[in-house]
A and B are shown apart, each in its own frame.
Chain A
Amino acid sequence: RKEVEQDPGPFNVPEGATVAFNCTYSNSASQSFFWYRQDCRKEPKLLMSVYSSGNEDGRFTAQLNRASQYISLLIRDSKLSDSATYLCVVNNAGNKLVFGAGTILRVKS
């Protein structure tokens, strides 16, 4: 079983739609959680950290459920520019980030 699992998609949605991605992780000792975004043929970039209480950054909302070892990302009012691969990332004990395989989002006009 992979340490971090994501639905690969692709998710094809129209502009303005709301879309949600889910991620599960296997290590109950995981200490911090992130969503990274990777555009085609580019490097990954931090989108947002994920806190236990849930957090929001504009149109993006992240949630963490430690009991279920589950992380989610909600994107409201999707834009064409949101098209990318979204990587669920977990930091286990130590300084190592473990990346999920990513979920592809395509927003179409």
Chain B
Amino acid sequence: DAGVIQSPRHEVTEMGQEVTLRCKPISGHDYLFWYRQTMMRGLELLIYFNNNVPIDDSGMPEDRFSAKMPNASFSTLKIQPSEPRDSAVYFCASSLDPAPGGETQYFGPGTRLLVL
């Protein structure tokens, strides 16, 4: 399997622009997670989906952030408008069943976002 695929790998944009990050989970995985990693705050869960349905979006920082999962093989995280403080590495991860003691989460290579 190719693993979790994310695109783009790097994104540089100007403040106020819309940014769309993409993720293709591992085939057959029921859960998809979006994380953000910064030096200051570490790795934070933004939102996760089960069978394409958003389950918990309590980590989404504010209304400028939105995520969708139109089908089992594709998800997007959108930031509109972007701000410099959104600069971070955004990871997508997927798993079969992350219930306690269940399957591990597999991370994609991440998208490095820089908002100028």
Interchain CA distance A97-B34 in the complex, whole Å: 11
B42 pairs with A102, CB closer than 8 A: yes
Measured CB to CB, the closest approach of chain A to B47, in angstroms, equals 10
SS class, residues of chain B in contact with chain A = strand
Interchain CA distance A31-B101 in the complex, whole Å: 8
B100 pairs with A91, CB closer than 8 A: yes
Q: Could you say which of B91, B98, B108, B110 contacts A95, with CB atoms under 8 Å apart?
A: B98
B101 pairs with A99, CB closer than 8 A: no
- Residues on A with C-beta less than 8 A from B45 are 96-98
B107 pairs with A44, CB closer than 8 A: yes
Interchain CA distance A43-B92 in the complex, whole Å: 10
Interchain CA distance A44-B100 in the complex, whole Å: 19
Q: A31-B100, A34-B104, A43-B109 known; A95 and B42 CB under 8 Å?
A: no
Interchain CA distance A31-B98 in the complex, whole Å: 11
B105 pairs with A97, CB closer than 8 A: yes
- Residues on B with C-beta less than 8 A from A94 are 56
Q: A31-B101, A91-B98 known; A101 and B110 CB under 8 Å?
A: no
- Residues on B with C-beta less than 8 A from A46 are 104-105
Interchain CA distance A87-B105 in the complex, whole Å: 14
- Residues on A with C-beta less than 8 A from B101 are 31-32, 49
- Residues on B with C-beta less than 8 A from A95 are 31, 48, 50, 55-56, 98-99
Q: Which single residue of chain B is at the shortest CB-CB distance from A92?
A: B100
Measured CB to CB, the closest approach of chain A to B114, in angstroms, equals 14
Tell me whether A45 is interfacial, beta carbon within 8 Å: yes
Interface residues of B (CB under 8 A from A): 31, 33, 42-45, 48, 50, 55-56, 91, 98-101, 104-105, 107-110
Pairs A–B under 8 Å by Cβ, sample size 17: A31-B101, A42-B109, A43-B91, A43-B107, A43-B108, A43-B110, A44-B43, A49-B101, A95-B50, A95-B56, A95-B98, A95-B99, A97-B45, A97-B105, A99-B42, A99-B43, A99-B44
